Structures are given as C-alpha cells and as structure tokens.
Amino acid sequence: MYVARKASLKEWISSQQHRVSLTTDIWTANVTKASYMVITVHFVDADWRLRKLILGFKHITDHKSNMISKVLLDCLAEWGIEKLFTITVDNATANSIGLKKFIDEFKLLRHDSLVLGGYYMHMRCCAHIINLIVQDGLTKLGRNITVVRNGVQYVRFSTSRCDTFELKVVWSSTYLMLTRAMKFKLAFQKMEDEDKLYNDYFMELKNGAKQKGPPTYSNWRAIERFVKFLGLFYTATLVVSASTKGCSYKCYGEIVTIEKNLTNMSTSYDKELSKMHVEMREKFSKYWEGIKNINKMLIVASVFDPRQKMQFATMCFEKLYGKDSKDAKDMCTSVLNLMKDMLVEYTYYNKGSSTQSSQSNPSSSTAQDQFIFDSLSSDIAEDVVPEFERMDDAYSDLVSSKGGGEMKDELDIYLKYETETPKTLPGSEWDVLSWWRLNSQKFPILSKIAKDFLAMQVSSVASEEAFNNSGRILSAYRSCLSHYIVEVLICTKQWIKQDMKINDKDCHSNSQILADIELFDNLQRGKF
C-alpha cells in the first residue's frame, strides 16, 4: 500500500511540472533516542490550491552538515524532484553549512534547478527567530514571571500542569498564562490579604529554599508592561506558523511591526523596557536587519498580495528609515530589481512551454505563413536588391536593446494597477490564490512566480507537525519498529489525510472513513 501510494503521488507531483518549496527539521525519539529528519514538500497545484506532503521521514546517524545535505539530495532524487524554490529550516549552524553544500550539488542537475543560482533559497524559520528574540526578553523578567507562576500553581494545585510553563522553548504557554493571570490580579491580591493558606504556601521549602512570591504590585506592573509587548510576538507566531494556507505574503508585515515597536521600546520612558530592548534588538538584527541580513524573498512575497503590491513595502521602508531617505529608496530599488531579475529568468525558462502552446494553436498557421514569406523575401533580397531597413525589425531591435520591454511591461502593469480593496465577511479571509488564478491569463509569467512565492514556507512548523505523530507511533510499546517501518507509518498516515484533498473529494462516506482507519491499523501491525 505504501509503495503504491508513493508511486501515484510521485506521478502526480511530476505531472504538476512546478517548482516546489521544502521544509525540513530533525527530531530525536524519547524512547529509542534515534534521530529522524522529516522533509515536507509545498507547492501550488494546477488548480491554484496549496498542497503539502511529507516526502520522507529519514533516519540519520548524526546532525552534521554532510548528513543533512546527503539526506536532502537522496530524498529529492528518490522522488524525481529537480526544481526548487526555497528550503525552510531552523537556525542551527549545521543547517546553514549543509544547505550550502546541497546548493553546490543540486544546481548541477539542470540549468533551471534553482532560482537565481540558489542565492535566496535558504529560508530561516521565522517562528524560531521570534522564539530567540522573546527568550531574551523573558530572561529579564525571570523573577516576576516565577512569582506569578507560583501563584497560579497554588490556585490550580497541579504541578504536572504547571510543568508546561517551565519549557523555555514553549514561550507562548508562558504568555497565555500571564495574560490569564492578569485578569485575576485583584483576586490574587485579595488572597494575599485574606487567605492564610495562600501565604503559608510561599513559606514552604522547595529544594531547601522558600518559594518566590506572592506576586507584589511591582511584579504585576512589570508583567503588565511586557505582556502587551509580548502580544505582538504571539500574533506574529500564529501568522507565520500557518502551513495549510499561504502566509508568506503576510510575514514581512509582522517583521516590520516587531522592528518598529522594538525601536519605540528603545526610547520608552520605562527604564526596564528600554533595557530589554538592547538584547532583543541585537537578536532581531542578526537575522532580520532590513538592509543586510533579511532574506529579500520575504519582502517580495508581500508584493504578490494584490491588496498591497509595492505600496505596502514602500510604506514599511519609509516607517523604518524615514520618508525620502536614501535607505528607503535603496530598499525599493533592490526589491524591484530582484523582481525584474526573476521575471527575466522565468520568462527565459518558460520559452519552451510557450512555444509548444503556440504550435498547438490553430491560429499559428498564420505565423508559419509569415515566417515562410519572410524567409523567401530575405533570399530574394540577398540576390536582387541591397538590404532594406524594416520598421518592425527596427522596433524589435529597440525592444531587445532595452532589456525586454514585454517582460518589464508585465511587472509594470501589475504594479501600476490600483491595489485591490475586496470586501470580506466577518471571520473570513480573502483568498490571494484565487485572485492570481483568475488573473493568470493577464499575467502569464508573473503568475508562475506568484505560485512559487505563495507556496514558500516561512517557518518549519509544517515539518514539526510530523513529530507529534511520531511521538505517538514510537511509544514504549513500539520501540522495536525498524526505521523503514517508522517512515512508512508517518508518511502513509499523512498521505491518507491528504487523499481527500488530492482527489478533490468534498466528503467521505462512513464506509470510506472506516476503511481508512482499518488501513492505518493494518499499517501499524506491519500488514502493508
């Protein structure tokens, strides 16, 4: 079953003939301590719907760059994928080195395997970067958070539940705990005044020392100031972590929102917030400093939202660097130049497909007749009369000398059109992919670029989801499963979930649902 499904999916992906983006991450099983690398593919299909499939759940012997590069190359060769747009990974040094080695090998497969030589292919996980920035801020609030957490722990009286708050990587749980605790600030203060057990709780010894708390007025003030600011990061994490719908065009807006408020934080009259800004800003600039360190693909992606185009990016540059400033103008120029370079490259690579379509068109007979006539005329001209200058030929030469006016026109026309102002129902979201599907004939090349940008992932959350399933599959009772069987179970389960979407089925009957459950049970027993 696994082999058959894999073969059909491989054929289906090949039939799409599109460039794809990847997300990948590494996970170590708690029970077996074996490490696995998951590779997930993302692309927009012929019907302009975003697709996501796990290509492999590969066992790896180490986390070094050579292993990462080799597993990626082998997995893509296994699936016959030869054209990539971006690969999204977390910020480990081994990933950066591994992707450099991967690019050097992969671009040898074919001349169009990577866009612009793979210079922008490496996409750092935005959710991970946000996590790094927030951790620096939470460190400064360590004691304030601890005393509030201890107060919450007393109320809930469940240490196991409060263990979640100790996880440094899951800072969002700390944020949610603090926001909820803030709503009951007066209740905590009343308990301190009237509840003897509450006060005795903080006198108890834990590891030879009294517990910190109860939370005081100054603790609540410090928490209140930072929680409002932390909300920006929480919202940004939710935006960039969406993997079922395209979110690449939203990412730059979240980055600028964070940067602008970090700048405001530095000039705050609040000394504590001003101190937090220094370390948080340093971490931000390391990955997202606008002029040097940010991957400009994140900015270009925002331009492919018809509601924003270059107007939004230009506004962001002016907010950050000042209106009419040199830096703002330079950023606008660099983004436009990047889009023009991509348009030139995509136009060149799509010449073959456009030629084939024109040959299959009945109206192409006129073009063929004209070609024969021109050939005969040129032969006669060489023998009878000197070469004459034709105005249509002169214009073609003029267009060519200016670097391809038609290619620039497609981008210019898109940018010169007024931005879209669609009306949506409350709770619903405007579908950017649908707009590009409807306008793909108007922008034949630009729409192909839009497909790749809208499928680009800005976080590796899509790959991390596989680890939730693997944790259940690799339980203590299944610790003897071979690495191949683990991959079969993980991949097949995800493929079954995607089956309904791939086959364009709106719903499953009860019998179909039961059949899928029975199939997965058989897979877990090794019957496949």
Local confidence band at 136 (pLDDT 50, 70, 90 cut-offs): confident
* 432 within a domain of the structure (yes/no): no
* 261 within a domain of the structure (yes/no): yes
- We report the CATH number of the domain holding residue 93 as 3.30.420
Q: 115 and 153 share a domain?
A: no
Q: 287 and 207 share a domain?
A: yes
Q: Give exposure, 80-110, as e/b (b: 16+ Cβ within 10 Å).
A: ebebbbbbbbbebebbeebbebbbeebbebe
φ and ψ at residue 209, rounded to 5 degrees: -140, 155
* 230 within a domain of the structure (yes/no): yes
pLDDT of 159 strictly over 60: no
Q: 152 and 255 share a domain?
A: yes
Domain count, the chain: 2
Q: 10 and 36 share a domain?
A: yes
Q: Which of 215-219, 291-295, 399-403 has the highest mean pLDDT?
A: 291-295
Local confidence band at 153 (pLDDT 50, 70, 90 cut-offs): low
Return the pLDDT at 374: 46
Q: 164 and 240 share a domain?
A: yes
Q: What is the overall mean pLDDT for the chain?
A: 78
Out of 294, 325, 348, pick the residue that ends a domain: 294
Count of C-beta atoms within a 10 Å radius of residue 218? 9
Return the pLDDT at 139: 72
Q: 79 and 215 share a domain?
A: no
Out of 267, 294, 321, pick the residue that ends a domain: 294
Residues forming a β-bridge with 20 = 84
Classify residue 51 as left (phi > 0), alpha (psi -120 to 50) or beta: beta
- Of 288, 284, 328, 285, whose CA–CA distance to 310 is shortest? 328
Token pair 């719907």: residue: 49
Question: What would the pLDDT profile of 195-221 be if each residue is shown by its tens digit?
Answer: 777 777 777 766 667 777 777 777 787
* 351 within a domain of the structure (yes/no): no
pLDDT of 44 strictly over 80: yes
Q: 70 and 192 share a domain?
A: no
Q: Give exposure, 40-60, as e/b (b: 16+ Cβ within 10 Å).
A: bbbbbbeebebbbbbbbbbbb
Return the pLDDT at 226: 79
Question: What would the pLDDT profile of 235-272 be if each residue is shown by its tens digit?
Answer: 898 888 876 777 899 999 999 999 998 888 777 777 77
Question: What would the pLDDT profile of 359-373 be if each residue is shown by its tens digit?
Answer: 444 444 444 444 333
- Per the CB < 8 A criterion, the answer to whether 460 and 23 are in contact is yes
* 494 within a domain of the structure (yes/no): yes
- Of 339, 307, 313, 309, whose CA–CA distance to 431 is shortest? 307
* 422 within a domain of the structure (yes/no): no
What Å distances lie between residue 415 and 274, 304, 310, 350, 362, CA to CA? Answer: 40, 10, 7, 22, 33
Q: 77 and 148 share a domain?
A: no
* 402 within a domain of the structure (yes/no): no
Q: 54 and 21 share a domain?
A: yes
Question: What would the pLDDT profile of 54-72 be if each residue is shown by its tens digit?
Answer: 999 999 999 999 999 999 9
DSSP letter string over 255-266?
HHHHHHHHHHHH
Q: Which domain holds residue 473?
A: 2-125+460-524
Return the pLDDT at 455: 95
Q: 195 and 171 share a domain?
A: yes
Rounded Cα gap, residues 282 and 486, in angstroms: 41
Q: Which pair of structure tokens corresponds to residue 506?
A: 């709106």
* 327 within a domain of the structure (yes/no): no
Rounded Cα gap, residues 405 and 412, in angstroms: 10
Local confidence band at 425 (pLDDT 50, 70, 90 cut-offs): confident
Rounded Cα gap, residues 40 and 114, in angstroms: 18
Return the pLDDT at 220: 80
pLDDT of 477 strictly over 50: yes
- Per the CB < 8 A criterion, the answer to whether 18 and 353 are in contact is no
Q: 42 and 69 share a domain?
A: yes
Out of 294, 323, 346, pick the residue that ends a domain: 294
Q: 133 and 208 share a domain?
A: yes
pLDDT of 471 strictly over 70: no
- Of 170, 242, 162, 155, whose CA–CA distance to 201 is shortest? 155
Local confidence band at 436 (pLDDT 50, 70, 90 cut-offs): very high
